[in-house]
Amino acid sequence: MMQKVMKWARTMARRARADSGMTTSEYAVGTIAACAFAAVLYKVVTSPPVMAQLQSLLKDALDAKF
C-alpha cells in the first residue's frame, strides 16, 4: 500500500513540474490582449458622451451639500 502511495506522489510531482508556468508565446499573447483592452477602454472613457457623464458626476459630487 505504501509503495502505491509513493508511486502516486512521484507521478503527481512529475506532472506538476511538466507544466510550470507560461511560455514566451503565452506571455506575448497576454501582453497584446492587455494592451488591446487598455486601448479600447481608453477610447471609451475619452469619448464625448462618457466624458460628459463623468464631468456631470464629478460636478454633482463637488456640489453636494452636507
Q: Where are the domains of the chain?
A: 2-62
pLDDT category at 45 given cuts 50, 70, 90 is very high
pTM assigned to the model:
0.52
| Contacts with 44 (C-beta within 8 Å, 6 or more apart), sequence order | 50
**What is the per-residue DSSP string for 6-52?**
HHHHHHHHHHHHHT-S--HHHHHHHHHHHHHHHHHHHHHHTSHHHHH
Contact between residue 31 and residue 25 where contact means Cβ atoms under 8 Å apart: no
The average pLDDT across 41-65 equals 92
pLDDT digits (tens, 9 = 90+) for 28-38: 999 999 999 99
Instruction: Tell which wins on pLDDT, 44 or 16.
Output: 44
% of the chain at pLDDT higher than 90: 53
